[in-house]
Structure 1
Amino acid sequence: MANSKNPPTDATGAAETNLLIEAFRSFNEASTVLERSYQELQAHTRELDLELADANERLRRSLLEQEATSLHLRSILNSLQVGIMVVDLEGVLEAINPCAVKLVDFEGSVGVNYAEANLPQAVADFIYDCLEGTMPRIAKREVTLPQPDGQRDLELQFKLVRPEGGGILSVLILMTDKTLLNRLQSQSKRTARLAAMGEMAAELAHEIRNPLGSIKLFSGLLEGDLEEQPEQAKLAGQISHGVNVLENIVGNILAFSRNVTPKKEALELAALVEQSLPLFEMERARKNIEVTLRKPERRLMIEADPHLLKQMLLNLCNNAIKAMAPGGRLDIQVNTHDEFAELVITDTGHGIPADQLPKIFDPFYTTFHGGTGLGLSVVNQIVEKHAGAIDIKSAVDRGTSVYVSLPRSL
């Protein structure tokens, strides 16, 4: 049976072949373009990878530099002997360095409002005024903070932290411990005044001593001539007694005005205080005064004349005992500070009125009946000769505290 379909002609086959060849050529051209594009893409990707790696390296180095700078700045901040506290405009405590922590006995943490940070009231009040006013009139303030071992005088300042574009970022509180500086300034003024008074007193003492010698001689002769007249001899004896009292006062004046040179040696302050306790034991026992001594945990060494310091302690403790009623309490503390050693003597006596405090170191000024008024003048002289400072805080009917600051041994 014959096939009903006609077989393909040669022309048709050739056309189909040409179409197939053209399709392969187009495919090859497209493949070549795609391969070239792929290679270009790969090259561009490699360039981007290199640029990204370079950018990442620069970023890594920048982060390391920033971290190093931050650590360096933090180290500087932590080593500063000035307290620094940063508070934002909402009152949140952002940062506080170790010096500020020590100055205000800070036990809280950053990230809380300053009013909840358990800061001393005087410091909190200053921060409040800074945030509310930020006026130059409150840019600086001096406050006194009570401490377990005495008191601390702080100078508070504030600065506004401003970005380059303007505005205010936060408030910077600066704290400086002025305790020793204030005592030294008071000591310097007092020493200058007492030096002038001492020179005048010494001249007067020399002028008085000569006629006193003559009076004493003639009163002695008069007593001898009046041996058979007891009443008159008694009167002459009172003259001699008065002359002896005056001679004693003149001797104290000359001792006060004499230029004493300490013979310093290395000694432990707390041990010296313990050795000095028996010196006023009789007075202490007579009035049944309780004495407590608080010492630092570590040895506190100073360079000082032990004999002069014992005399200083004796004068100060005797004054404290005289000021107290029987059954009082005398507290002696030896404290360690960064720059100085501190001796604090506190009594529960009748206290000293505020108007008398500026005069108590003056020669012949005394608050005790029968006193010569030279005890504290001698104490001041001893402290001054040791390049130290002395300060007294007192309140009527509440007692008196004496603060003696002495340089520490290196």
Structure 2
Amino acid sequence: MEALRDKLKWLMGIRVAVVTLTLGVLIYLQIGKSTQAIPAYYGLIVATYLLTILYGLLVNRIEWLVPFAYLQIGMDIVFETVLVAITGGVESPFSLLFILSITTASALLSRKGGLAVASIASIFYGAIVDLQYYRSTYQITLFDWLPRTELLVTEIFYNLSLNLLGFIMVGYLSGTLAEKLRSTGERLEEKDRDLTGLQEFHQFVLESIDSGLFTTDPEGRLTSFNRRAEEIMGYSQAEIRGRFWWEVFAWPAPTGQSGILPAGLSHRLEEVGRRKDGTRLILAMSLAPLQARGRSAGLVGVFQDITPLKKMEEVVRRKQWLATIGELSAGLAHEIRNPLAALSGAIQVMRKDLYTTDVNRPLLDLALRETERLNGIVSDFLQYARPRPLNLKQCDLNELVQDTIQLLGQTLEYAGQIRFVRRLALDSVVAMVDPDQMRQVCWNLGLNACQAMADGGTLTVATRRVAPRVGETEGESVEIVFEDTGPGIPEEHLHKIFYPFFTTKEGGTGLGLSLVHRIMDEHKGSVLVESVLGKGTCVKLTLPITGTVAQETR
């Protein structure tokens, strides 16, 4: 109905323009001539303007638009009849105005409306011609207001028949055309809705998949980036449009300057990329040429962030390696410990037989000290390889951390050089842990951090609760963080720091972090190490707060 309302508004404007132009020209041509029709012309113009104003006031308020359209077109027929009557009747050139009204009715009211208006126009025009005929033939004074005609009767009826037939034919043909146009328009609208729905569905599919997806033009410039791609890379659609795709992923162009693969060739790769904020991530990507009607239209790529998966694989691989090393080395350590005990006993016996002034006594003292040190290393390794069962208790982790920091702060070697910062949770953080082993973990990490800051620095220790992520079934956990301002760990060493006997410190055994990893693994926790050269190292311990560990241990 709103479409009909808009068409009626157009009709009002066109009506004013046609009447003004037609009657204005007619008045101009009649100026200076003795005619009584000029006041009638002015009357038609004024009446048209007044009715148009009335129509304009009603068009936005009235609800019955179809009767309103018939009313307007009916008034147009009346005005056209008057104009035809005063401009020559059967000889009037303005009989063509009836055709305009008939065409308008067909456009607004379909073929039915066009034929109805054509019938009304035929009746009104036929009445004018009949009255003019009787006025000219029988000199009836009642119709003196009609102009005379000099046409013969046959000519009058010829013109009448021709116009009436034209009215009906125009009404039928224009109505048929209007219906076809309307039907075609409805089909086009339906197709447009289907196409829009298909496009929206296609867009929903692209936005819903859990993989990043992008497309490029033939030059390799990005044309689209789905929602998941934006989340992985940190760029918005507007920021990447028009850029080369390999620049966004911080890669070199894979094939020459265009970065477009040969037709029909797909490619899969795993590469290290960078997010917008510079964060390092590992991407698995599948690339394929984008074909449009047999011609290359660019490139389509699907990618995923597999950084967490790679970290998990590394953790599993490390655990398997550590377990294998532990099992193989435990027997060897026992075999070393037995002769080492015999060697230590023999040296002690020999030492008792020597005088305090004997020159060999210092050598035996040195051998005894090194034997004890070697025995300590073997004991530490056995503790790592075959740990004792956990003695789980409800412990406040804040107190464990506080005790460790207090011991380190009282150590003369670090008391004046290291600044200790505590950022402990305000509430007590209670978890099921083995207190002795957790003290060992905290001491090893704190000691490593202090030793790394030989020239002084800051050791920040924090505890905080961590809520479970959306979709995870695990409960709440707690993090213990040791962050130093030391020189950092080279990237090539990060994956080795938990290996037994791996150390970069002079005199170190390489078992401290291995023991930390084993204890955290026994507690069903995890260790995450992040380090930046020149800025320092951050070690995050994550422990479950619930009693899962205790239940599994029992």
TM-score interval, normalised by the smaller of the two chains? 0.5 to 0.7
Decide which of 456, 460, 463 is 1:327's aligned counterpart: 456
Contact map agreement 1:183 1:390 (CA 8 A) in 2 = no
Q: Deviations over 1:188-222 (max 9, x none)?
A: 33322222221122112333444555566666677
Structure 1 CA distance, aligned partners of 2:231 and 2:502? 39
Q: Could you tell me which runs of 5 or more consecutive residues in structure 2 were left unpaired when the two chains were aligned.
A: 1-136, 138-150, 547-554
- Inter-CA distance 217–104: structure 2 relative to 1 (3 Å threshold): same
Provide the rounded CA distance (Å) in 1 between the counterparts of 2:395 and 2:198: 48
Residues 161 and 253 (structure 1), Cα distance of their counterparts in 2 relative to 1, 3 Å cut: same
Match of 2:329 among 182, 201, 205: 201
Q: Once the two structures are superposed, what CA deviation does each residue of 1:147-190 show, in whole Å capped at 9, x if it has no partner?
A: 97x95222263624524302333334544333333333333333
Counterparts in 2 of 1:265 and 1:143: CA distance versus 1, 3 Å: farther
Say if 2:213 and 2:302, in contact at 8 Å, map to a contact too: yes
Q: Is 1:73 paired with 2:228?
A: no
* 3-state secondary structure, aligned to 2:456: coil
Query: Who is 1:258 aligned against?
Result: 386
Partner Cα separation in structure 2 for residue 176 and residue 267 of structure 1: 41
Residue number in structure 2 paired with 1:373: 510
CA-atom RMSD in angstroms: 5.3
Verify the 8 A CA contact 1:129 1:138 in the aligned structure 2: no
Greater per-residue strand proportion = 1
Change beyond 3 A, Cα 1:348–1:370 = same
CA-CA distance at 1:375 after TM superposition: 0.8
For residues 136-215 of structure 1, the aligned pairs below 5 Å read 140-143=269-272, 145=274, 151-155=279-283, 157=285, 159-212=287-340
Task: Give the drift of 1:344.
Answer: 8.0
Amino acid at match of 2:452: A
- Asked whether 1:132 is paired with 2:269, we answer no
| 2-structure distance, mates of 1:75, 1:177 | 16
Corresponding residue of 2:120: none
> Identity over aligned residues, as a percent?
21
Identify unmatched segments of 5+ residues in structure 1: 1-12, 14-18
Distance 1:143 1:229, change over 3 A: same
Shift of 1:268: 12
Q: Is 1:183–1:389's contact at 8 Å kept on the other side of the alignment?
A: no
Q: Which moved further from structure 2: 332-341 or 310-319?
A: 332-341
> Counterparts of 1:403 and 1:170 in 2: how far apart (Å)?
45
Residue of structure 2 in register with 1:114 after alignment: 243
- Cα offset, 1:244, TM superposition: 3.9
Given the superposition, is the C-alpha separation of residues 193 and 132 from structure 1 closer, same or farther in structure 2, using an over 3 Å criterion? same
Report SS of the residue matched to 2:499: coil
Cα gap change, 1:138 to 1:366, in 2 (>3 Å): same
Query: More displaced, 232-241 or 306-315?
Result: 232-241
* Cα separation, 2, equivalents of 1:109 and 1:373: 51
Query: How far off is 1:58 after superposition?
Result: 0.9
Equivalent residue number for residue 486 of structure 2: 348
Q: Indicate the residue corresponding to 1:318 in structure 2.
A: 447
Shift of 1:142: 1.6
> Secondary structure of the residue that 1:114 maps to in structure 2?
coil
Task: Name the structure, 1 or 2, with higher relative contact order (CA <8 Å, separation 6+).
Answer: 1
Inter-CA distance 186–342: structure 2 relative to 1 (3 Å threshold) = farther
**C-alpha separation in 2, matches of 1:53 and 1:20:** 48
- Take 1:376 and 1:406, find their aligned partners in 2: how far apart are those partners? 15
The more displaced of 24-33 and 181-190 is 24-33
235-244 or 250-259, larger mean C-alpha shift: 235-244
- 1:88 equivalent to 2:217? Answer yes
Cα 1:261–1:143 change in 2 (3 A) is farther
Are the equivalent residues in 1 in contact too, given 2:267–2:288 (CA < 8 A)? no
Counterpart CA distance in 1 for 2:234 and 2:398 is 24
Separation in 2 of the partners of 1:175 and 1:268?
Answer: 44
Taking structure 2 as the reference length, the TM-score comes to 0.52
Q: Following the alignment from structure 2 to structure 1, what is the Cα–Cα distance between the partners of residues 400 and 185?
A: 70
**Structure 2 counterparts to residues 258-277 of structure 1, below 5 A:** 258=386, 277=405
TM-score (norm 1): 0.66
> Equivalent of 1:30, from 153, 162, 187?
162
Find the partner of 1:62 among 172, 194, 203.
Answer: 194
- Mapped pair 1:364 → 2:501: yes
Please report how far the alpha carbon of residue 72 of structure 1 lies from its aligned counterpart in structure 2 after TM superposition. Answer: 1.5
Aligned to 1:249: 377
